[in-house]
Chain A
C-alpha cells in the first residue's frame, strides 16, 4: 500500500481511538462526580472544581494523541 495512504489511515484511526479513551474516561469521571454530588450536595462546588481539573488532565492526554494524528495527516 502507498505509505501516504497508510499515514492517513493511521491518523484517522489514532484520532478515533484516542477519542474513545478520552470519552470513556471523562464519562466515568462525570458519572462518579454526579453520584457523589447527589450523595453530598453541599460539596458539589468543590467536586466540580476537582472534576474539571481531572477532566482537563484526561483531555490533555487525548489531545496529545490528536496532535500526533494531525501531524501524521499534514506531513
Chain B
C-alpha cells in the first residue's frame, strides 16, 4: 500500500511539474520573447520541433523550394475548382484571397473545403522534371555520339550508359519475357523506368535535394503505368480471350468461383506492392538518417556526435546501394510480371 501511494504521489508531482513547465512556456512566450532565461523544457521542445520541421521539409511536398536558406524558389500554384486558378506563388494566392492555407493544406476561404484538383508544380514535380532533363541530356548526347561515330568504341558517359542499358536488356528484360519480339518492344520502357527511378532516388541523397520516389503519389503513378504495361502487353500479345482465360488460373471449372476473385485481386496487388515497396524503402532511409542526426540535439552532448555521424554515414552509403537496388527491383519485378502474364502455357499441358 505504501509503495502504491508513493508511486501515486510521484505521479502527481510529475504531472504538476509538467503543468508548471507548460505554464512557464506560455508565460515566457506571451510576456517577453527576448527573455533569455528560457526554461529547459521549452528549449528541448523547440529542438524537437526543429528536427521534425527539417524532416517534414525534406520528406513532404511543398509549394516552394528552399536550398538551406541560401536561395528560395516560389513555385506556381495551379488549382481547379469549377474554374482554373493560376498563381505564380503561394504568396500571391494568399493575397488574391479566394484560397488560403490551413495546416499545410490549401482550402477555399468561404467553404473551408480543399479545391477539387491541385495540379501545382510542387518541389517534387520540379525534381522529377530535373531528373527527366538530366536523363534527356545524357541520352541525347550519347545517342548523337553513336550516330556520329558508329564504329568507334564508346567512351565516358556513353560507355557507362551502354553498360547499364545492355544489362537491362540482356539480364532483366530478355530472360524474363519469353517472346523475343515483345521483349524488344518493351525494352525502351524498362530502360526508361530504371533510369527514371534511379535518378529520382539519387536526387534525394544530394544535400538539398528531395527524392520524388519518397512520395506515394509518384510511386503510385509509376505503378499505374506498370499495371497498364503488364495487362496491355498480355492482351496484345496473347489475345483478349486468352487473357480472360488466364483469370481462371488454368484450373478446372469447379473452383473458378475461388480462382477468379484471387486472380483479379492479384492483378491489383502486384502494382500496389510495387508502390509501397519503393515508397517505404526511400522514406525509411531518410527517416533513419534524420533520427540519428536528431540524437545529437535530443541528448545535448558531444559524446554522441561521432556515433551518430558514423552511423548516419553508414546508412547513407547503404542508401546509395538501396537507390540502385530499388530501381533494379522495380524494373525486374515489372519484367517478371509481364513475363508471367504473357507466358506460353503450351508446354505445361
- Please give the residue numbers on chain A whose beta carbons come within 8 Å of chain B beta carbons, in ascending order: 49, 52-53, 56-57, 59-60, 63-64, 66-67
Contacts and interface: CB of A to CB of B under 8 A. Distances in A.
A59 B277 contact: yes
30 contacts: A49-B171, A49-B175, A49-B332, A52-B325, A52-B328, A52-B329, A52-B332, A53-B329, A53-B332, A53-B333, A53-B336, A56-B277, A56-B329, A56-B333, A57-B273, A59-B277, A59-B281, A60-B276, A60-B277, A63-B276, A63-B277, A63-B280, A63-B281, A63-B284, A64-B273, A64-B276, A66-B280, A66-B284, A67-B276, A67-B280
Contacts of B280: 63, 66-67
Interface in B226-275: 273
Contacts of B171: 49
A60 B328 contact: no
A67 B282 CA distance: 12
* Chain B binding surface SS class: helix
Contacts of A64: 273, 276
Contacts of B281: 59, 63
A16 to B, nearest CB: 14
A53 B175 CA distance: 14
Interface residues of B, number: 14
Interface string B331-345: 011001000000000
A67 B332 CA distance: 23
Nearest to B269: A60
Contacts of B329: 52-53, 56
Contacts of B277: 56, 59-60, 63
Given A53-B336, A57-B273, A63-B276, 16 more contacts: A49-B171, A52-B325, A52-B332, A53-B329, A53-B332, A53-B333, A56-B329, A59-B281, A60-B277, A63-B277, A63-B280, A63-B281, A63-B284, A66-B280, A66-B284, A67-B276
A66 B279 CA distance: 12
Contacts of A49: 171, 175, 332
A53 B171 CA distance: 13
A57 B329 CA distance: 10
A60 B280 CA distance: 9
A61 B46 CA distance: 36
B342 to A, nearest CB: 17
A42 to B, nearest CB: 16
A59 B333 CA distance: 13
Interface in B160-212: 171, 175
A17 B94 CA distance: 46
A23 to B, nearest CB: 15
Nearest to B274: A60
Nearest to B287: A70
By Cβ-Cβ distance, the 7 closest A-B pairs, closest first, are A63-B280, A56-B329, A60-B277, A60-B273, A67-B280, A63-B276, A63-B277
